Structure 1
Amino acid sequence: MIHKIPLEKVLFLDIETIPGFGLWEELSEAEKMLWDKKTRFQRKDEVTAGEFYEERAGIMAEFGKIICITIGMLEKNDTLKIKSFAGDDEKKLLLEFGEIFNSQRLREVILCAHNGKEFDFPWIARRYLINGMMPPTPFQMFGKKPWEIQHIDTMELWKFGDYKSFVSLELLAHVFGIPTPKDDIDGSMVSSIYYIEKDLQRIVDYCEKDVLTLANVFRRMRQEDLLKRYINLD
């Protein structure tokens, strides 16, 4: 039962990802060939591999990179404490993020994200391996029984066993009466804001709003009041 989950153990999480390169021309010939092979059957006939790279590489861990991970945990006074790990150096970002799991409180943490099982959790694990590091323990799934995997996915909770549909965090926020996190940008704009506008802080702000919204969606699913505030620990 969702009400039996101890809130003090839940780590709410969201990531922002972009293509590994700002331009298709920056890829090596080998990378272009591999991208073409991987996406050949996903593209419409009129869409070139280069055009599809700029549009979709940011959602594929083999061709993208993480530029922000925001986490949030609830305190006893119903205040969400948020911290973001962001920057151009993905390996440094992942190293700093991984260090939080050395604390006693986070050794048995329960990860929570929206569409986390299909996106955030595997993305993080894959990027650790690509950067030559082992993923933190909460992201390691091999050899675990399903009930031993401490992952919560609010999209999965909303489906109630219906696997045919996708629901966005923005839509859930609307139906639950939660202020939208998309009041400035949305995920489709992240790459251009990073590579063209070079405004990483704007992306971090957006990611932090998503984590607050995620925590409030989870609380609404438990029939609990909305969080009124959060504290940024940066």
Structure 2
Amino acid sequence: MTNTILPLVAFDIETVPLFTAPEQAPDYVQKAFANSTTTDWNDYAPFHAHTAKIVAIAFARRKGNEIITKTIYSDTEKDLLTEAQSILEKLHQKAILTGHYINLFDIPMLVRRMIIHNIKPPTIINPLATKPWDAPTFDTYDAWRLHSRNSTSLDTLCHMLQIPSPKNQIDGSMVHDLWNQGQHQQVADYCGRDAEAALLVAEKLRHLLLM
């Protein structure tokens, strides 16, 4: 089986900091933050497995002319990850996971948070359980970068490819506050829109680059 015949399933995650400020975190977290290249906690905390938790995960796939989206969300991360593990395990060798920046953020974060909760990462995202030539992912960030040093956001890519951007009302910087305000459904909806946009981008790039 190859990437060109397996269907695409786009996914996206949303994270929030485990601690509202570094002073509230354990010593080892404070030390890691102090040794980082940023001094802004809000720029650091959501992107590391020792400072963030996953609160929403969205999956988007095509069925004929329709995009089917499933979004799961919870403030209890272990329950969320257990459900995600079940969904992802069923996709192994049946779909290609796609998304924007998933190889450098979404997948590593998901695997690490699962391990922290003693959940076995599903085969499709487990780098030690998948043969390199199986190529179970198609990252739109990497596909557009084309081995250059250019960094392009999903929002920018959508505009260039004339695909509706999911960032018109909410962007990632707003997720933490919305979640803490109890706007969980709004965060989940935003996560779903990200997955849908990533699917449309991936379909276009795969068609023009690989097929």
| TM-score w.r.t. length of structure 2 | 0.89
Counterpart for residue 89 of structure 1: 76
User: For the Cα contact (< 8 Å) 1:7–1:74, is it kept in 2?
Assistant: no
- The 1:80/1:24 distance shift into structure 2, 3 A limit, reads same
- Aligned with 1:213 (options 183, 189, 197): 197
Structure 2 counterparts to residues 185-196 of structure 1, below 5 A: 185-195=170-180
Counterpart for residue 103 of structure 2: 117
Percent identical: 29
Counterpart for residue 123 of structure 2: 137
Moved over 4 A (4+): none
Q: Unaligned 5+ residue runs, structure 1?
A: 224-234
User: For the Cα contact (< 8 Å) 2:58–2:192, is it kept in 1?
Assistant: yes
Counterpart for residue 12 of structure 1: 10
Counterpart for residue 142 of structure 2: 156
- The 1:99/1:143 distance shift into structure 2, 3 A limit, reads closer
Q: Unaligned 5+ residue runs, structure 2?
A: none
User: For the Cα contact (< 8 Å) 2:99–2:202, is it kept in 1?
Assistant: no
What's the offset of the Cα at 1:217? 0.9
Q: Secondary structure at the match of 1:218?
A: helix
Q: Is residue 151 of structure 2 the alignment partner of residue 166 of structure 1?
A: yes
What's the offset of the Cα at 1:7? 5.2
Number of equivalent positions:
205
Structure 2 counterparts to residues 30-41 of structure 1, below 5 A: 30-37=28-35, 39=36
Counterpart for residue 74 of structure 1: 62
C-alpha separation in 2, matches of 1:194 and 1:218: 28
C-alpha separation in 2, matches of 1:126 and 1:107: 19
Q: Secondary structure at the match of 2:103?
A: coil
What is the CA RMSD across the aligned residues, in angstroms? 1.9
Counterpart for residue 178 of structure 1: 163
Q: Secondary structure at the match of 1:117?
A: helix
Q: Deviations for 1:139-182, whole angstroms, at most 9, x for unmatched residues?
A: 111264432231110111112221x1110110111011111111
Q: Deviations for 1:185-211, whole angstroms, at most 9, x for unmatched residues?
A: 10111112122x221111111111111
